[in-house]
Structure 1
Amino acid sequence: MITGYDHILFLLGVIFFLYRMEHIGIYVSLFAIGHSTTMLLGVYFNWAISSYFIDAIIGLSVVYKALDNIGAFQRWLGFQPNTKAATLIFGLFHGLGLATKVLEYDMSPDGLLPNLIAFNVGVEIGQLLALAAILIVMGFWRRTRSFWKLAYSANVAMMCAGFVLFGYQLVGLMVVP
């Protein structure tokens, strides 16, 4: 999904219950490392994968993070999966999704690497700006009584959005040749 809503939605889930800036920095950095790695390598080495398939996985990453936030894995599996590893792994998928979209454009190999790096820097700056806005809003929301009352519902809504993204991409996978 070239708009980036899926990336921002996943990052919202990642930072939803993070309060310390160093923790936010670690998780956002892990996502950015994964995202940047597969975006750059995917385009540079022409890893052509169905964008519908990858974007369906990205939709499921949002579902995963929402389930993680509401403690479903702890209840269902009896343990907490490694959230840092999950953030990095899903970052890899998110980057591959972007690479797949970028590959749909006919690009000249002349100056490809500098252009990819510049594009990636722009994407990361855009994500950081969106994340800053989210952190500001979340900071105010967390100080209200409604935060803990609505946190579960917000994550269920995020999970539903992930399922919608997944379903939309799955239909595209089945319908588009």
Structure 2
Amino acid sequence: MLLLSLAGDAFAHAVAEGDKGYIQEISGAHPIPFMYLGAKHMATGYDHILFLLGVIFFLYRLKDIALYVTLFAIGHSTTMLLGVYFNIGINSYLIDAVIGLSVVYKAMDNLGAFQRWFGFQPDTKAATLIFGLFHGFGLASKIIDYDISPDGLVPNLLAFNVGVEIGQLMALGAILIAMGFWRRTVSFWRHAYTANVAMMCAGFILIGYQLTGYFVT
């Protein structure tokens, strides 16, 4: 009942009214505003940040972190650009539910649940790329909601994507700093399991919110 009462636009890829009004009023290439919007969305997108946290949770070497983050970036950049350019819209609630599922998957992967429960280990690199594609469709649905002018669409999309990558690097930097301090404490391995269980629960909550919003609206 709580989910039914709370589900609404807040649980989709909602567009801030001020940002939406500004974007709808302008035309032509405006790289700086679109870079800002891209960075803002990624830096404040708790679902994207949770997935990113799960991806790097047990990664220690910078080259491994760079590989997985690059795969994620390739995935969401591809579907974001193509989705907006070809106007491929997916219901925001459904795509956000899949993004919540990606958080659940990564937490389960970190817990070793697939090996213990199902006897197999998914390809983590492929999964990161595939879920990146879904995250990109989430970004595309947000941009389509802006109903931006076709004049200057390509440079504005590229600028938005650059902003997304800047926001992702900012979020990643904050996560790595926090994880670096936590990993130096004796409590890290004692609480790593609990942290991933909490992450998995958060993913299920996100799925519940989005599916409830989809059926209610």
Bin of the TM-score, shorter chain as denominator length: over 0.9
Matching of residue 31 in structure 1 with residue 79 in structure 2 = no
Q: How does 1:14-29 map to 2 (within 5 A)?
A: 14-29=55-70
Within 5 Å, give how 1:33-52 maps onto structure 2: 33-52=74-93
**3-state SS of paired residue (1:38):** helix
Question: Partner of 1:140 in structure 2?
Answer: 181
Q: TM-score, normalising length from structure 2?
A: 0.80
Moved over 3 A (4+): none
Aligned residues: 176
Percent identical among aligned pairs is 78
Q: Which residue of 2 aligns with 1:153?
A: 194
Letter in 1 for 2:119: G
Q: Aligned-pair RMSD on alpha carbons? A: 0.8
* 1:105 corresponding residue in structure 2: 146
Cα deviation code 1:49-106 (max 9, x no counterpart)? 1010000000010000000000000111212110000000000000001101111111
Flag structure 1 segments of 5+ consecutive residues without an equivalent. Answer: none
Mapped partners of 1:47, 1:112: distance in 2: 15
Structure 1 residues 60-79: aligned runs within 5 Å: 60-79=101-120
Amino acid paired to 2:108: L
In the aligned structure 1, how far is the partner of 2:47 from the partner of 2:188? 23
One-letter amino acid matched to 2:145: E
* Alignment correspondent of 1:83: 124
What residue is the counterpart of 2:172 in the other structure?
131
For 1:175, give the aligned amino acid: V
Provide TM-score, normalisation by structure 1: 0.97
How do 1:47-58 residues align onto structure 2 when only pairs under 5 Å count? Answer: 47-58=88-99
Letter in 1 for 2:171: A
